C-alpha cells in the first residue's frame, strides 16, 4: 500500500516554516520533531529558478569562508580548512564563549591572523552573513539549525556548505531546493563518507562495469553512541540525545546511504521512489540511563521512543532496492555496510570483501583488496594521498572532501553533491518516521529535481586536473 505524499500545503504553512529560525532553537526543535502528519505529507513545490543539476558557479580565485559552529565537528574542520591552499577564513560565529576561545587559540597556534568573531547570542551569525567578504558558509551546528542557516546563507548570496543531515522535514528539504534554485547558490551537504578511499574505489569499480547492472545496496549507520548521553550541558549528546525521545525514525541516514546513492546514480538517471520503514523496540537508552544516572536524573525522566534498530527499504524508479539501517544504541561493532550488488558480483565493507564472477571464485568472499586498490584507486586519492594522511579527519576523508569542495569552487566545476542530493538523502528521516507510524506502509519520495534526474549526466568526480593551475 502506497500513501501518496506530494500534495501541496497552504501558503501559510510554508511561510511559517521559512520564518522558523525566528523561534528559539529549543522551541523549534520540539515543534518540528514530532509532527508525523507533516512528515507524511511533503509539500509539492513550484520551481522558482533554473535547475541546479550539474550547476557550476563562477570560479573564485580564493574561497572566502565564514564558519558557524566551533564544537566537536566545527573546530577540527577549521584546522583542515586552514591547511588548504586558496582558502581564507574571514569570520566565525558561535554563541558559546569557550568555542570561540578554542578557535582563537588555533589561529594563535598556527601563527595565522585571526578572522572576525561573532558570539553575541544564537543569532549573531546573521550579522556575520551581512559581510560582503564571504563567498561560502560552512555550517557545523546542531541539526535543528542546518536548514534555517543554509537558507539564510543562500539568501545573502553565499554558498551553503552544511553538515549532515541538511534537513529534518520534507518542507525543509523543499526550502533548500527552492532557495538554491532561486538564488543560484550551491547548497552542498558535506557527506564526508562519499570521499572515503574505499568508497571512491568502489565507485570506480561500478563505473567500470565490474559488478554488472546494479540491483541492490545496503547502507547503515551502526555506531554505539550511548556515551554521548553523558553530555548534559554542552557537547553533541546534550542536544542529540533528545531526538531519541522525539522521533521513531532513521535519525541519521546519510553516512551509509550517500555512497550507495552515488553508485546508483540517484538524481542522475535514477531516483528514490518510495520507502518502507520499521523499528525495533526502544529499550537500550532507558536501560543505559538506569545504569549510569541517578533515578531522579533528567536522562531517566525521558521517554525514549526511537527504536534501537531502524530498518528502512527504499525502492528506486528503476526498481533497485536499498536497505538503510540506523542503530546508535546497541553494543556492537561499527559498520556502514557499504554493500553494492550487481548482476556480475558484489562488494561489501566491514570487513572489506568482494565476490565477482569475472574475478574467479564468486562462491567465497575475497578479502585481499590489494588488486582492487591497484586497479581502481581513485585519482583524487592518488593526487592528495600524502596531505590526507598528514591531516587526517576520519582516515583522511574529511580533508579530501574539503580539498575537493574548494577545488570545485575555484575551478567552476559542479559540486559532487548538489541540493537535490541533500534533500533526497535527508528525506529518509521524516519518511521513515511517517512509515513507522503507519505499520511500515510505503511513503513516496518527492521528486526534488522535478524530472531533471531523467536526463542528468551520470555521477562521477570530474576535472581532477586543474584548469586554472589551482594546487
- Per-residue confidence (pLDDT) for residue 14, from 0 to 100: 39
* DSSP summary character for residue 364: S
What 465-470 contacts at long range (C-beta under 8 Å, 24+ apart), as own/partner pairs, is: 466/407, 466/411, 467/411, 467/412, 468/59, 468/410, 468/411, 470/85, 470/86, 470/407, 470/410, 470/411
For the stretch 389-439, pLDDT in tens is 999 889 999 999 999 999 999 999 999 999 999 999 999 999 999 999 999
Q: List domains and CATH numbers for the chain.
A: 194-390+413-454 (3.30.360.10)
pLDDT of residue 47: 60
What is the C-alpha to C-alpha distance for residues 312 and 276, in angstroms, rounded to an integer?
A: 6
Task: Tally Cβ neighbours within 10 Å of residue 333.
Answer: 8
pTM of the full structure:
0.92
Kindly write down the DSSP assignment for every residue of 267-327, as one continuous string.
TTTB-EEEEEEEE----HHHHHHHHHS-TTSGGGT----S-SSEEEEEEETTS-EEEEEEE
Closest CA to 257 of 38, 35, 82, 417: 417
DSSP string, 134-154: -SEEEE-S-GGGHHHHHHHHH
CB 449 within 8 A of CB 271: yes
Contact present, 104 and 75 (Cβ < 8 Å)? no
Distance CA 428, CA 313 (A): 10
Please check whether residue 175 is in contact with residue 18, taking contact to mean a CB–CB distance below 8 angstroms.
Answer: yes
Query: Residue 280 in contact with residue 340, Cβ under 8 Å?
Result: no
For the stretch 101-115, pLDDT in tens is 999 999 999 999 999
Q: Which residues of the chain have pLDDT under 70?
A: 1-48, 463-471
Closest CA to 263 of 164, 188, 339, 359: 339
CB 428 within 8 A of CB 168: no
Distance CA 79, CA 433 (A): 36
Contact 146, 252 (CB under 8 A): no
Interval 143-174: pLDDT, tens = 999 999 999 999 999 999 999 999 999 999 99
- What gap in Å lies between CA 35 and CA 405, rounded to an integer? 35
Strand partners, 65: 89, 136
Amino acid at each position: 500500500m502506497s500513501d501518496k505524499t506530494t500534495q501541496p500545503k497552504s501558503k501559510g504553512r510554508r511561510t511559517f516554516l521559512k520564518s522558523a529560525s525566528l523561534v528559539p532553537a529549543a522551541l523549534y526543535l520540539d515543534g518540528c520533531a514530532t509532527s508525523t502528519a507533516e512528515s507524511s505529507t511533503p509539500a509539492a513545490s513550484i520551481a522558482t529558478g533554473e535547475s541546479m543539476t550539474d550547476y557550476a558557479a563562477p570560479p573564485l580565485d580564493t574561497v572566502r569562508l565564514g564558519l558557524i559552529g566551533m564544537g566537536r565537528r566545527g573546530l577540527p574542520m577549521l584546522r583542515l580548512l586552514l591547511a588548504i591552499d586558496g582558502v581564507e577564513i574571514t569570520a566565525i560565529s558561535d554563541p558559546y564563549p569557550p568555542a570561540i576561545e578554542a578557535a582563537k587559540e588555533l589561529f594563535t597556534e598556527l601563527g595565522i591572523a585571526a578572522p572576525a568573531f561573532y558570539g553575541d547570542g544564537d543569532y549573531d551569525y546573521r550579522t556575520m552573513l551581512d559581510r560582503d567578504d564571504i563567498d561560502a558558509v560552512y555550517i557545523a551546528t546542531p541539526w535543528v539549525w542546518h536548514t534555517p542557516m543554509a537558507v539564510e546563507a543562500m539568501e545573502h548570496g553565499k554558498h551553503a556548505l552544511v553538515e549532515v543531515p541538511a534537513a529534518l522535514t520534507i518542507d525543509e528539504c523543499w526550502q533548500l531546493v527552492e532557495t538554491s534554485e532561486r538564488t543560484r547558490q550551491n547548497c552542498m551537504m558535506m557527506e564526508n563518507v562519499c570521499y572515503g578511499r574505499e568508497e571512491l574505489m568502489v565507485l570506480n569499480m561500478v563505473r567500470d562495469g565490474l559488478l554488472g547492472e546494479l540491483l541492490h545496496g545496503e547502507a547503515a549507520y551502526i555506531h554505539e553512541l550511548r556515551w554521548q548521553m553523558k553530555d548534559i550541558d554542552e557537547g553533541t549528546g546534550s542536544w542529540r540525545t533528545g531526538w531519541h525521545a522525539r522521533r521513531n525514525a532513521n535519525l541519521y541516514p546519510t553516512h551509509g546511504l550517500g555512497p550507495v546513492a552515488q553508485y546508483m546514480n540517484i538524481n542522475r538517471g535514477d531516483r528514490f521512489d518510495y520507502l518502507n520503514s520499521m523499528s525495533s523496540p526502544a529499550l537500550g537508552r532507558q536501560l543505559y540511563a538506569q545504569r549510569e544516572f541517578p533515578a531522579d536524573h533528567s536522562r531517566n525522566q525521558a521517554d525514549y521512543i526511537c527504536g534501537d534498530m531502524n530498518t528502512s527499504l527504499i525502492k528506486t524508479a528503476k526498481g533497485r532496492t536499498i536497505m538503510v539501517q540506523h542503530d546508535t544504541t546497541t553494543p556492537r561493532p561499527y559498520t556502514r555496510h557499504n554493500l553494492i550488488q550487481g548482476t556480475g558480483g558484489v562488494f561489501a565493507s566491514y570487513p572489506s570483501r568482494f565476490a565477482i564472477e569475472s574475478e574467479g571464485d564468486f562462491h567465497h568472499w575475497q578479502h585481499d583488496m590489494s588488486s582492487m586498490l591497484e586497479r581502481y584507486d581513485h585519482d583524487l586519492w592518488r593526487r592528495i594521498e600524502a596531505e590526507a594522511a598528514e591531516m587526517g579527519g576520519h582516515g583522511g576523508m574529511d580533508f579530501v572532501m574539503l580539498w575537493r569542495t574548494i577545488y570545485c569552487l575555484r575551478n567552476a566545476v559542479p559540486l559532487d553533491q548538489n541540493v537535490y542530493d541533500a534533500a533526497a538523502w535527508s528525506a529518509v528521516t521524516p519518511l521513515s518516521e511517517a512509515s513507522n507510524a503507519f505499520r511500515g506502509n510505503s511513503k513516496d519520495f518527492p521528486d526534488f529535481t522535478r524530472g531533471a534526474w531523467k536526463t542528468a549526466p551520470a555521477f562521477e568526480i570530474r576535472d581532477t586536473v586543474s584548469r586554472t593551475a589551482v594546487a
